[in-house]
A and B are shown apart, each in its own frame.
Chain A
């Protein structure tokens, strides 16, 4: 067991789970989508991206690409949230729908990332 691998897998899986948690629920219901969860998803996704830096293998490049896609989608979602929110008022339903669907895209990218992780582990011969 190598600590590096544990940390790596931990962040990749955590990025997926947080993203999934945010995405889960009614598309336009503000009660189902917590802003803290989106924030946590972004932070974890960024850390996962940095962890994937510097791997020169083909698999490493694909890992990095999926992570970058997830970052992009989540940050866009956050920017839309920031621009359209007014202090003290809940978000409008259509804005929230856009945000959640963007995070849905990020979710797909994170799923691919985890699939890659699993397939790499399965291929590992001991």
Chain B
């Protein structure tokens, strides 16, 4: 705030001094020039009269010649003063408007109001740096889930649309560079409600800078960053990011999984995939030859992952000056049938169009389809606005960078344990992954799998927490149904984090400790039931022992009396 006033005062210095001087000179003139009163007796204007007259003259209000009609000399002086005061007023008002129009001043006003609203936040929020397609999807998801976001983006663009958003929770936003430490501080990196920073800039260098600055400012904050190349990914990870999401790597690894280990692919899709459509089946293209068009970030990632699982690959790259192409690369435009034929499209099982241009990608796949009707077609969709065309093209698989990143980040935000879980799962053998996938299908029914974290602490599971002080509780007891303890809740525990230790699929007779964090998977009803048993003493008592405790004081007395009677009888 003080910044603003100082800026304003400094800019208005010269108009104010001009105004004071012009007023002083005019007033002195009126006081000194001899005048007459109504009876032509001499009258000298007092300073008050002069100030009064100059004030309404300068502001062009003009009440007339007060207190008495002016003499000719006074009118000459008035002519001079009239123009001088009006011009100095115009100068002053003009400079004032100028200051308000000044971009630096307006940015300062925005920063101030942003700073104030951030400091007033009293609920957990995520700081999102970069508001492009990905950012918008993520903010929408977060708002629907009731999580507040604070957004920073230096560029004109989608961020302007936030002015008229209709989100359930209106995010706070500022058009400013997030790699500036001061801006990050204003945006609340050290705020006690800040749950994490999500860096989504298009440029890897910017993401890296944000990661470094964020790490230096606040070591404890959770950092999720996006990276488009493998080098930046490991670089950002080395600066203490909790999760780095590389859309190309993610997609390519999923593709390789779909071919190599379908069950693992399904587990990934269910936990971090899209919430619009549940994927249950995977078509797996037969092993054989794959054609990759374009050897950019996407093409390279696809090449590496498919090569790892032993597919035969052929790359088509239009740029003949590139050096890092694998051997056997066909140089030429992939949109032409001749090039595709040269790459062996006739015997290929799949084709990946991974250039940076959407029309090119579509054209490649259309041409490929004309030559080989059975080919499996995968496209990289660069821009969100092209979605309808890609849908109409009826491709087998489309990689949408924005969705991929926002879905994954959203999943990681809702259930932070997921990151650790997936890291361990990715090393599962095929058979083990199959068992896990079928167990997950078993509990989630026909809905989307509901994933949530169950933390044993005083705040979220008060009944369970206080029970642990008296007796031991086993994992399987938590999964008993609160209405009928012989039934079990449709949920499984995927993962347990106790201190620094990780336990995959904790077994039934493991003892629950205080501070345990479980990653649960099940359906919505199961989530609700587990909340009941862990929060309500009566239900917990029933689930653990099978005894129903009375709620009211009268019933408690009656039961106690009955027990006494029975004890006496025996």
Told that A53-B10, A87-B43 touch, could you supply 12 new A-B pairs with CB distance under 8 A? A39-B27, A47-B17, A47-B21, A50-B20, A51-B13, A53-B13, A54-B11, A54-B13, A81-B47, A82-B46, A82-B47, A85-B48
Q: Which residues of B have CB within 8 Å of A36?
A: 28, 31
Q: Does B82 contact A (CB under 8 A)?
A: no
Closest 10 pairs between A and B when the two form their complex, measured CB to CB: A54-B10, A53-B9, A82-B48, A43-B24, A50-B16, A54-B9, A46-B20, A50-B17, A54-B6, A56-B6
State the CA gap A81–B31 with chains docked (Å). 15
Q: A93: CB under 8 A from chain B?
A: no
Complex Cα–Cα for A19 and B16 (A):
22
For the complex, give the distance between the alpha carbons of A85 and B47 in Å. Answer: 11
Given contacts A39-B27, A39-B28, A56-B6, contact A51 B47 (CB under 8 A): no
Bound Cα distance A82, B49 (Å): 9
Residues of B in contact with A (beta carbons under 8 Å apart): 2, 6-7, 9-13, 16-17, 20-21, 24, 27-28, 31, 43, 46-48
Q: Report how many residues on chain A are interfacial, defined by Cβ distance under 8 Å.
A: 17
Interface membership of chain A positions 80-98, coded 1 if the CB is closer than 8 angstroms to chain B and 0 otherwise: 0110010100000000000
Query: In the complex, which residues 17-62 of chain A have their Cβ closer than 8 Å to any Cβ of chain B?
Result: 35-36, 39-40, 43, 46-47, 50-51, 53-54, 56
Report A-chain residues with C-beta under 8 Å of the C-beta of B31: 36, 39
CB of A65 within 8 Å of the partner chain: no
What's the minimum C-beta distance from B347 to chain A, rounded to whole angstroms? 75
- A78 located at the interface, meaning its Cβ lies under 8 Å from any Cβ of chain B in the complex: yes
- What's the least CB distance linking B8 to chain A, in Å? 9
User: Is there contact, CB below 8 Å, between A78 and B10?
Assistant: no
State which of A46, A78, A87 has its C-beta within 8 Å of the C-beta of B47.
A78
Q: Please give, as numbers and ranges, the residues of chain B lying within 8 Å of A39 by CB-CB distance.
A: 24, 27-28, 31, 47
* Given A53-B12, A54-B13, A43 and B20 contact (CB-CB distance below 8 Å): yes
Residues of A within 8 A of B2 (CB): 56
Alpha-carbon distance A121/B365, docked complex (angstroms):
79
Residue of A nearest to B7 (CB): A54
User: Given that A39-B28, A47-B21 are known contacts, is A85 also in contact with B46, CB under 8 Å in the complex?
Assistant: yes
Cβ of A87: which chain B residues have Cβ within 8 Å of it? 43, 46
Contacts of B6 in A (CB 8 A): 53-54, 56
Give the Cβ gap from A88 to chain B, nearest Cβ, in Å.
9
Q: Which of A35, A47, A50, A85 has the most CB of B within 10 A?
A: A50
B483 to chain A minimum Cβ distance, whole angstroms, is 68
For residue B147, give the distance in angstroms from its CB to the closest CB of chain A. Answer: 38
Interface of A is mostly: helix
| CB neighbours of A50 from chain B (8 A) | 13, 16-17, 20
CB distance from B29 to the nearest CB of A (A): 12
**A87–B68 Cα gap in the complex (Å)?**
13
Beta-carbon nearest neighbor of B47 in chain A? A39
Shortest B228–chain A CB gap in Å is 43
B48 to chain A: closest residue by CB: A82
A residues bordering B, Cβ < 8 Å? 35-36, 39-40, 43, 46-47, 50-51, 53-54, 56, 78, 81-82, 85, 87
- A81–B46 Cα distance when bound, in Å, is 10
8 A-B interface contacts by CB (under 8 A): A39-B31, A43-B24, A46-B20, A47-B17, A51-B13, A53-B10, A82-B47, A82-B48
Minimum CB–CB distance from B138 to chain A (whole Å) comes to 39
Least CB distance, A18 to chain B, in whole angstroms: 12
| B3 and chain A: residue at smallest CB distance | A56
How long is the Cα–Cα vector from A47 to B204 in the complex, in angstroms?
A: 54
Residues of B near A35 (CB, < 8 A) are 47
Measured CA separation A50–B2 after assembly (Å): 17
- Taking the closest CB of chain B, its distance from the CB of A38, in whole angstroms, is 8
Q: Which residue of chain A is the closest to B16 with respect to CB atoms?
A: A50
Contact of A47 among B11, B12, B20 (CB under 8 A): B20
A50–B11 alpha-carbon span in the complex (Å): 11
- Closest Cβ of chain B: how far from A34's Cβ, in Å? 12
Distance of A78 Cα from B27 Cα, bound (Å): 14
CB nearest to B15 among chain A residues: A50
Contacts of B11 in A (CB 8 A): 54
CB neighbours (8 Å) of B48 from chain A are 82, 85
- What distance in Å separates the Cβ of B218 from its nearest Cβ neighbour in chain A? 28
In the complex, what's the smallest C-beta–C-beta distance from A107 to chain B, in angstroms? 20
- Interface pair B17/A51, CB less than 8 Å apart: yes
Q: A51 to B9: give the CA distance in the assembly, Å.
A: 10
With both beta carbons as reference points, the residue of chain B lying nearest to A46 in the complex is identified as B20
> For the complex, what is the distance from the CA of A40 to the CA of B10, rounded to whole Å?
24
Cβ-closest chain B residue relative to A11: B17
Distance in Å from the Cβ of A96 to the closest Cβ of chain B?
15
CB distance from B506 to the nearest CB of A (A): 60
Q: Which residue of B lies closest to A56 (CB)?
A: B6
Closest residue of chain B to A42, judged by CB? B24
How far is the CB of B176 from the nearest CB of chain A, in Å? 22
Q: Closest Cβ of chain A: how far from B68's Cβ, in Å?
A: 11
Q: How far is the CB of B112 from chain A (nearest CB, A)?
A: 15
How far, in whole Å, are A75 and B426 apart by their CA atoms in the complex? 80
A56 to B31, CA, bound (A): 38
Q: Which of B21, B27, B47 has the most chain A CB within a 10 Å cutoff?
A: B47
Chain B neighbourhood of A46, CB < 8 A = 20
**Chain A positions within 8 Å of B46 at CB level:** 82, 85, 87
Q: Within 8 Å CB of A85, what residues of B?
A: 46, 48
Nearest B residue to A82, CB-CB? B48
CB distance from B420 to the nearest CB of A (A): 49
CA distance in complex: A82, B13 (Å): 29
B220 → chain A, closest Cβ, in Å?
33
A54, B28: Cα distance in complex, Å: 29
B-chain residues with CB within 8 Å of residue A54 when the two chains form the complex? 6-7, 9-11, 13
User: When chains A and B are docked, how far (Å) is the Cα of A43 from the Cα of B50?
Assistant: 14
User: Chain B residues with Cβ under 8 A from A82's Cβ?
Assistant: 46-48
